[in-house]
Amino acid sequence: MAIETTEIGPESLSRYAEIPMHFRVESILRVEEAERGFGGLTMSEEMLDEPYVKDYEVEDEGPTSWPTRFDVSNWGFFLATAGGGSVGGAAVAYRTPEAHMLAGREDLAVLWDIRVHPDWRGKGLGRRLLQRVVDWSRRRDCAQLKIETQNVNVPACRLYAAAGCHLGGIVRHAYTDDAVADEVMLLWWLDL
């Protein structure tokens, strides 16, 4: 079945939101410090004895809420469809002062969200969507693309590394919510 990837406007985010944001966590990237941090950090993949399902969708913070929380007039939204259904999507933020991940930079784009329907994972759709985001960002003369993920999303980390991104930040105590307090923030950067 052919996949069509198109740029959409914020009025179509309800279709984008149809794509599930959950995945099975079977391994994590364990971050360890040496010599209380003076010896650097090491990261290794650790298989879990008890895999679990991670759901990134947070009520009232999903795609349909973005236009109520941010000025999305400078954002790009991409929707991948197959057989009439939504199978993947990506959102990129740009020139949005209230989006703290942009750090006020006019030459930075942030991969705000990327999602692939579980039935379509492992088929190259994530790479295709990421490339659309990269191309969109380059057309706006962005110098870099910034991406946040967590150490529990090993497939996403592999995708970003394979796309040429480098791991530019590891924040071990970034999350305070009890449900995710053990997760490590990983910040990936791609020079455009």
CATH of the domain at 97: 3.40.630.30
- pLDDT for 58 equals 74
Give the HSE-up count for residue 73: Cα atoms under 13 Å, Cβ half-sphere: 2
| pLDDT, tens digit (0-9, with 9 covering 90-100), for 10-27 | 999 999 999 999 999 999
How far apart, in whole angstroms, are the C-alpha atoms of residue 78 and residue 116? 12
| pLDDT, tens digit (0-9, with 9 covering 90-100), for 93-123 | 999 999 999 999 999 999 999 999 999 999 9
* Structural domain contains residue 60: yes
Give how far Cα 31 sits from Cα of 77, 171, 176, Å.
33, 10, 17
* In 20-140, alpha helices (H): 66-69, 125-139
Give how far Cα 163 sits from Cα of 24, 34, 128, Å.
22, 29, 10
* Structural domain contains residue 149: no
Q: Which amino acid is at 162?
A: A
| pLDDT, tens digit (0-9, with 9 covering 90-100), for 58-101 | 766 899 999 999 999 999 999 999 999 999 999 999 999 999 99
User: How far does Cα 73 stand from its chain's mean position?
Assistant: 20
Structural domain count, the chain: 1
Return the residue matching tokens 């946040």.
148
Beta strands 185-191; 144-150: pairing state: antiparallel
* Structural domain contains residue 39: yes
How far apart, in whole angstroms, are the C-alpha atoms of residue 85 and residue 16? 10
* Structural domain contains residue 75: yes
| pLDDT, tens digit (0-9, with 9 covering 90-100), for 27-68 | 999 999 989 889 999 999 999 999 999 998 876 689 999 999
Which tokens belong to 35?
A: 């010599």
* Structural domain contains residue 180: no
Within 10 angstroms of residue 152's Cβ, the number of other Cβ atoms is 21
How far apart, in whole angstroms, are the C-alpha atoms of residue 156 and residue 111? 12
- pLDDT for 82 equals 95
* Structural domain contains residue 85: yes
Phi and psi torsions of 127, nearest 5°: -60, -40
How far apart, in whole angstroms, are the C-alpha atoms of residue 160 and residue 121? 15
- pLDDT for 60 equals 66
Helix/strand/coil for 63: helix
Average pLDDT over residues 167-184: 91
- Domain with 13, as residue range(s), is 4-139
Which tokens belong to 7?
A: 């740029």
Residue 178 pLDDT more than 90? no
Residue 1 pLDDT more than 80? no
Question: Which neighbouring-strand residues pair with 80?
Answer: 5, 88
